[in-house]
Amino acid sequence: MAWRSRLSYIGWRHLSIFSNPSPSNWTKVVSDAEKIVGYPTSFMSLRCLLSDELSNVAMHVRKLVGTKHPLLNTARGFVYDSRNNLQMRGLIVLLMSKAAGPCPSTSDPIHDSMVSGIYPSQRNLAEITELIHTAFLVHRGIVNLKEWTNSDGPLKDMQFGNKMAVLSGDFLLANACTGLAQLNDTKVVELISSAIGDVVQGIYHESSTSAEEGSLTVASWEDQTFLSHGALLAKSCQAAMKLARHGNEAQNLAFLYGKHLALGHKLNSDLQPFVKSGSEPAVFSLDSAPVVFHRQIVGPERWRHQLKQVQNMARQIDYTKLRGLIKTERGVSQALDLCSYHGNKALEAMKCFPSSEARSALENMACAVTKF
């Protein structure tokens, strides 16, 4: 039982990672932006995808078809959604690089190496950011074998799926590490390594707060979401500035843009099940922003009562009913407010950059996360 709720939770999470906030608008913004950075973004370097190691994994993952291992879902996501969100982080790093322009001191030897207004090192960084992000999508899907019961299928499949997930995630991280080393900037290595540590802490938190009784407050939700969803983008944007030898001010603004955009983006996707009209069955995490806000409004006592109300005999939650209950309070509107706050903060951070196509693209993305 515990496993089942966890599984649906994992399934949901993958949905949220890959699904577009308000698809039409977002897709247009992203595809417009891709044209600005030079060539179509394919950051997951061919070197990695074509390596013996990953083709080995691909072969083995086929054996998992028909099992419930989350690695399958993640792998599917690479195929179906690779056009848009999977590479969003890399795209933003490139746009930010282009928006900030060449290194301020023209005598610097790195000056001539720009392609479409972006330094090669910044392109590598964008790729590394994607590698790290993908590595954690894979490591998030590790299954706890103790929670597995016979009715969920053979344990052997899960062990095997875990083995593949650990190895492929490690492989991506290792490639990120060697890629980082090649940037030849130990400050950037330190910054991105700290981002890896942040992501781990964020995900760890995710997997250890028990949703039913959770003591998650709005403030801690923001801290934790920054770690799990914002830190990598924020620090990568900052590092892109560092690579072009831009000063602290530009680095700081780039960091802020990355941070607020990521938080806005997360709020947007958390809000999707609550703002979509239509009769499609709702599934959402009890850690998503509107639920957390709602919990804080109603208090732990009433929340427990409401949860009981929407559970059936097998303690399964009727999400459509729960959504109805949440919609009667102000949780959803508070989350909407916070989403526009972060979108605006991201816009504000871009103000000091010289106006350019790249800057407009970043501004359009910041606007898109606040639209529903």
Partner 1 sequence: MAVPWSRCWRSGAGTAVLLDWCRGFSTRAFKVSGRRTPCSTAAPQPATARMKVLLRQGPVFNFNRPMTIARHRDRCLYTTPRVGCSICNDAKLKDPFSLAQKDLQNLYEDIKKQLLVSKAELKALCDYYFDGKGKAFRPMIVILMARACNVHSNKEGVLLPAQRSIAMISEMIHTASLVHDDVIDDSGTRRGKNTINKVWGERKAILAGDFILSVASMALARIGNNTVVSVLSQVIEDLVRGEFMQLGSKENENERFKHYLEKTFKKTASLIANSCKAVSILVNSDPEVHEIAYQYGRNVGIAFQLVDDILDFTSCANLLGKPSAADLKLGLATGPVLFACQQFPELHAMIMRRFSSDGDVDRAWQYVLKSDGVEQTNYLAQHYCQEAIRQIRRLRPSTERDALIQLTELVLRRDK
Positions in the binding site for partner 1 (CB under 8 A):
52-53, 56, 60, 136, 139, 142-147, 159, 162-163, 166-167, 169-171, 173-175, 177-178, 180-182, 184-187, 189-190, 193-194, 196-197, 200-201, 203-205, 207-208
Q: How far is the CB of 273 from partner 1 (least distance, A)?
A: 25
Of 21 and 141, which has the nearer Cβ to partner 1? 141
**What is d(CA 81, CA 262) in angstroms, rounded to the nearest whole number?**
18
**What is d(CA 43, CA 207) in angstroms, rounded to the nearest whole number?**
28
Transcribe 176-239 into DSSP letters. Answer: HHHHHHHT--HHHHHHHHHHHHHHHHHHHHHHHS-TTT----HHHHHHHHIIIIIHHHHHHHHH
User: Helix or strand or coil: residue 317?
Assistant: strand
Of 53 and 81, which has the nearer Cβ to partner 1? 53
Of 52 and 301, which has the nearer Cβ to partner 1? 52
Q: How far is the CB of 136 from partner 1 (least distance, A)?
A: 8
Q: What are the CA-CA distances from residue 206 to residues 14, 98, 227 (Å)?
A: 14, 34, 10
Amino acid at 28: K
Q: How far is the CB of 38 from partner 1 (least distance, A)?
A: 27
Which one-letter DSSP state was computed for residue 15?
A: H
Q: How far is the CB of 191 from partner 1 (least distance, A)?
A: 8
* Contact of 282 with 261, CB cutoff 8 Å: no
Of 12 and 372, which has the nearer Cβ to partner 1? 12
Q: How far is the CB of 315 from partner 1 (least distance, A)?
A: 21
Question: How far is C-alpha 173 from the geometric centre of its chain's CA atoms?
Answer: 16
Q: State the CB neighbour count (10 A cutoff) for residue 213.
A: 11
Q: How far is the CB of 49 from partner 1 (least distance, A)?
A: 15
Of 11 and 299, which has the nearer Cβ to partner 1? 11
Transcribe 153-165 into DSSP letters. Answer: --HHHHHHHHHHH
**What is d(CA 238, CA 253) in angstroms, rounded to the nearest whole number?**
8
Q: How far is the CB of 5 from partner 1 (least distance, A)?
A: 15
Q: How long, in residues, is the chain? A: 372
Point out which residues pair with 118 in neighbouring strands.
115
Q: What is the dihedral of CA 229, 233, 234, 235, to 10 degrees?
A: 110
Of 53 and 357, which has the nearer Cβ to partner 1? 53
Q: How far is the CB of 165 from partner 1 (least distance, A)?
A: 8
**What is d(CA 203, CA 331) in angstroms, rounded to the nearest whole number?**
24
Amino acid at 22: S
Of 29 and 232, which has the nearer Cβ to partner 1? 232
Q: How far is the CB of 247 from partner 1 (least distance, A)?
A: 20
Of 1 and 181, which has the nearer Cβ to partner 1? 181
Point out which residues pair with 284 in neighbouring strands.
none
Of 42 and 144, which has the nearer Cβ to partner 1? 144
On the CB side of 177, CA atoms within 13 Å amount to: 8
